[in-house]
């Protein structure tokens, strides 16, 4: 991979390798483990990505925060001994290329499919992710079917967003969507979402754009090739059970995740590709 003037390879104190972006447009970090973005900050503005202060960046463990890639299933599999959120977020991806332009930088990684246990994913396929860094962030996760039979998968770009006060935070743009929460529903979302308890809503038939209203400003979250998304905050009791997560950090974060789940699962025909995308920015 040929690096640009604004892009370098660095390591954490624990030895994890990441791609560092430091340009006139923004700063960012993408770890090779999990192809997990852990930082995106447009120049002159606040960070758009949250990571726990207790994160210790260990090999074989997903980072608590950033944008974990949930693939080829989201959440708990029907085979309960299979890993939650699939396998991609703990595997070592390969950095493919970097392209620097006057108004954006593109970083592309791929998952070596030989690393994927065929018990979990027996299909002949290719998985790539592209990060486009500018004044906004675009993340595109592409599945390509190289085999002779179609396959279906669920997936999510599990984005953690920052806020200084979850009780003063609202999510607009989910009105009219259907959701399931804690296995119950479906219910209809009629109002702007506020936070006063644990939130774990899986939405379908959702509009393509939502806005997160925080004390620091408004974050726009858009999706492509997705009519489903997930809204999550662990609140008080669950925070105490999470690893690499301080008991009070529920107060400073929320997840709003572009997804292909439930009836919105992605079906990919032989020779075809499907790209799930999320685009985030301050407005």
Which residues are part of the catalytic machinery?
158, 257
CA gap 97, 110 in Å, rounded: 10
Q: What is the DSSP string of 10-51?
A: EE-TT--EEEEEE-SSEEEEEETBTTEEEEEEETTS--S--B
CB neighbours of residue 250 within 10 Å: 22
CA gap 10, 28 in Å, rounded: 12
Of 33, 273, 37, 283, the C-alpha closest to 158 is 37
Of 26, 29, 66, the C-alpha closest to 44 is 26
Q: What tokens does 111 get? A: 């998952």
Question: 214 pairs with which residues across the strands?
Answer: 217
CA gap 44, 239 in Å, rounded: 32
CA gap 24, 14 in Å, rounded: 28
Cis ω for the linkage preceding 41 (within 30 of 0)? no
Question: 21 pairs with which residues across the strands?
Answer: 7, 28
CA gap 214, 202 in Å, rounded: 21
DSSP summary character for residue 120: T
């Amino acid at each position: 991979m040929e690096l640009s003037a604004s892009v370098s390879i660095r390591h954490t104190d624990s030895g994890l390798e990441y791609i560092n972006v430091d340009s006139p447009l923004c700063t960012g970090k993408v770890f090779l483990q999990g192809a997990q973005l852990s930082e995106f900050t447009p120049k002159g503005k606040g960070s758009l990505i949250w990571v726990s202060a207790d994160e210790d960046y260990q090999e074989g463990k997903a980072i608590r925060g950033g944008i974990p890639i949930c693939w080829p299933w989201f959440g708990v599999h029907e085979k309960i001994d299979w890993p939650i959120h699939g396998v991609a977020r703990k595997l070592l991806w390969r950095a493919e290329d970097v392209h620097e332009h006057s108004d954006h930088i593109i970083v592309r990684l791929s998952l070596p499919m030989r690393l994927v246990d065929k018990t979990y994913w027996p299909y002949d396929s290719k998985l790539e992710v592209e990060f486009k860094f500018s004044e906004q962030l675009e993340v595109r996760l592409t599945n390509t079917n190289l085999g002779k039979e179609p396959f279906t998968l669920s997936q999510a770009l599990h984005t953690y967003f920052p806020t200084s006060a979850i009780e003063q935070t609202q999510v607009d743009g989910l009105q009219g969507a259907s959701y399931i929460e804690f296995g119950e529903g479906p219910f209809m979302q009629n109002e702007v979402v506020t936070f006063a308890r644990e939130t774990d809503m899986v939405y379908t038939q959702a509009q393509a754009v939502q806005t997160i209203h925080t004390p620091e400003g408004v974050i726009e979250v858009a999706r492509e090739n997705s009519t489903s998304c997930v809204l999550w905050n662990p609140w008080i009791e669950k925070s105490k059970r999470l690893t690499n997560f301080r008991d009070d950090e529920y107060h400073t974060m929320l997840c709003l995740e572009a997804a292909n789940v439930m009836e919105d699962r992605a079906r990919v025909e032989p020779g075809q590709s499907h790209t799930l995308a999320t685009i985030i920015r301050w407005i």
